[in-house]
């Protein structure tokens, strides 16, 4: 498809010469000799030029006035402004209105081609972002929170109401897998900031020493590897929404810095001396009880009260089992389409197993179970055996797993002894994991390393001996997951 270039020039000779040049370069060129002609092309005929090249002064007015008047309705192209005389006031106004560049006439064609090419790349990128945002806006409506239960209907009603008000901050609470990330996307894509960026940050997935730089950015030389300036995720989210998942995992030091940003809407990059203004909506989520962490001294009370302008508690799947009737066929159709399979039947035995299960991992666990069953089913019937749900009400009946590195065999649930009928020494730490897909390997690793550190007084060396590995391995995971140790 040929890209369109709108040329606004009242000098007939220059206009026709530029039009011929850009047509030779592969552009579809529309030529207007007055602002009235340009306004008609843009607003009445709904021309969508990728690039607009306009003379500043035209017989019926100033091109900046046209640009300012159509901005709310025409935002799909980049503007280049040409003038026979340079003016600081006009150039400042042009850039403030979002013009790509401001050039003095006569302008060398080679230089003009370079600037037009840069403007075209910028306009294509903006169009692509707008198209992606439009797709996301259609996808993440309140109906994306699927379910016919009263609990699901209430969540949709609250999300619809929250999307209509300009909340500065909001906390999404609930167990892991209940859909906090989905709720955050719905709030962004149905709210007033839908055209801005949505930046999602998992505070538990980044090591503490990297998280500060990721959130706030840094200046050159702020630390050893800081070779250049970097805009942080909060700065990148300006004009839109930042979603801080697992906010309860932030250190107290980072909580203090975050509070200042939430309060003042200003931040300072690491190693910087200047404050940067940001305009963001803060969404936070945690599967922990933040109020209890405040009482325990692990979370700042002032930050807690600042981010809980409104708190939305998402229901667990076991509280809305009737929603299985909507969720299961939806997931089956999704994964069957991805795998190129045709699953036509969901047998009664599968429905019975799904309704009897306790779902400690909530909708995320259900999604994983359905994906696994669809991928491994050999017929057009969903296979129950690949659900792998174990015994209903599950995790408490699963075998315990001893700490890696210990020689203690697994504990028998029935007898309280090891599989060799020898009592387990009290000093041997022991963990229980639900082997039902509700925990990822990373989450299991965090629990294992955390338990080893707790048992050894947060000594990395002692934890390494307990786990049967090296200090470097444990130290790496302490840094990776932002865990606390003596070091």
> How far is Cα 437 from Cα 439, in angstroms, rounded to an integer?
5
Cα 150 to chain centroid distance, Å, stands at 28
- Which of the residue ranges 160-169, 217-226, 349-358, 365-374 would you say has the lowest mean pLDDT? 217-226
Mean pLDDT of the chain: 83
Give the per-residue pLDDT at 363.
Answer: 95
My answer on whether omega of the bond before 88 falls inside 30° of 0, hence cis, is no
Please give the angle made by the CA atoms of 393, 395 and 401, to the nearest 5 degrees: 160
Give the per-residue pLDDT at 108.
Answer: 83
What are the chain's domains?
4-136 (3.40.50.2300), 150-313 (3.40.50.300), 317-394 (1.10.8.60), 400-432+440-481 (1.10.10.60)
Give the per-residue pLDDT at 412.
Answer: 33
- pLDDT of 483 higher than 80: yes
When pLDDT is cut at 50, 70 and 90, the band that residue 436 belongs to is: low
Model confidence pLDDT, tens digit, residues 127-153: 887 777 667 667 889 999 999 999 999
Averaged pLDDT, 352-367: 93
Model confidence pLDDT, tens digit, residues 76-99: 788 888 887 656 677 777 777 788
Give the per-residue pLDDT at 86.
Answer: 58
When pLDDT is cut at 50, 70 and 90, the band that residue 425 belongs to is: very low
User: Positive or negative CA dihedral for 411, 413, 419, 425?
Assistant: positive
Model confidence pLDDT, tens digit, residues 111-127: 899 989 988 988 888 88
Give the per-residue pLDDT at 155.
Answer: 96
When pLDDT is cut at 50, 70 and 90, the band that residue 32 belongs to is: very high
- pLDDT of 321 higher than 90: yes
Closest alpha carbon to 49 in 67, 62, 69, 68 = 67
Averaged pLDDT, 230-250: 91
């Amino acid at each position: 498809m040929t890209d369109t270039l709108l040329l606004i020039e009242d000098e007939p000779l220059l206009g026709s010469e530029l039009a011929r040049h850009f047509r030779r370069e592969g552009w579809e060129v529309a030529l207007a000799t007055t602002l009235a002609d340009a306004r008609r092309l843009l607003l009445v005929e709904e021309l969508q030029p990728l690039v607009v090249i306009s003379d500043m002064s035209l017989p019926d007015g100033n091109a900046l006035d046209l640009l300012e008047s159509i901005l709310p309705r025409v935002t799909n192209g980049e503007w280049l402004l040409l003038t026979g005389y340079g003016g600081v006031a006009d150039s400042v106004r042009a850039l403030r209105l979002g013009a790509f560049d401001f050039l003095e006439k006569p302008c060398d064609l080679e230089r003009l081609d370079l600037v037009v090419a840069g403007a075209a790349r910028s306009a294509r990128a903006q169009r692509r972002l707008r198209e992606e945002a439009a797709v996301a806006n259609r996808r993440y409506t309140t109906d994306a929170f699927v379910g016919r239960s009263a609990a699901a209907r209430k969540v949709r009603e609250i999300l619809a109401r929250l999307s209509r008000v300009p909340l500065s901050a909001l906390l999404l609470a609930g167990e892991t897998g209940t859909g906090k990330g989905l709720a955050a996307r719905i709030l962004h894509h149905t709210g007033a900031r839908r055209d801005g960026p949505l930046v999602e940050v998992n505070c538990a997935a980044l090591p503490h020493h990297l998280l500060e730089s990721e959130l706030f950015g840094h200046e050159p030389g702020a630390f050893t590897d800081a070779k250049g300036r970097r805009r942080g995720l909060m700065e990148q989210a300006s004009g839109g929404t930042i979603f801080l998942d697992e906010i309860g995992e932030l250190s107290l030091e980072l909580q203090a810095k975050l509070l200042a940003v939430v309060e003042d809407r200003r931040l300072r990059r690491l190693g910087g001396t200047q404050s940067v203004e940001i305009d963001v909506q803060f969404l936070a989520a945690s599967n922990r009880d933040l109020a209890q962490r405040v009482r325990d001294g692990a979370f700042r009370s002032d930050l807690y009260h600042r981010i809980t302008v409104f708190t939305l508690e998402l229901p667990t799947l076991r509280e809305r089992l009737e929603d299985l009737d909507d969720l299961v066929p939806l997931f089956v159709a999704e994964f069957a389409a991805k795998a190129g399979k045709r699953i036509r039947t969901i047998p009664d035995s599968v429905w019975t197993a799904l309704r009897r299960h306790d779902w400690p991992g909530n909708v995320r666990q259900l999604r994983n179970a359905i994906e696994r069953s669809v991928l491994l089913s050999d017929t057009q019937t969903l296979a129950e055996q690949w659900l792998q749900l174990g015994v209903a009400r599950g995790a408490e009946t699963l075998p315990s797993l001893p700490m890696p590195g210990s020689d203690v065999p697994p504990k028998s649930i029935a007898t309280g002894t090891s599989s060799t009928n020898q009592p387990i020494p009290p000093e041997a730490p022991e963990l229980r994991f639900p082997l039902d897909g509700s925990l990822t390997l990373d989450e299991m690793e965090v629990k294992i390393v955390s338990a080893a550190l707790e048992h050894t007084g947060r000594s990395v060396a002692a934890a390494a001996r307990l786990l049967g590995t090296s200090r470097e391995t444990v130290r790496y995971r302490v840094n990776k997951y932002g865990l606390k140790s003596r070091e």
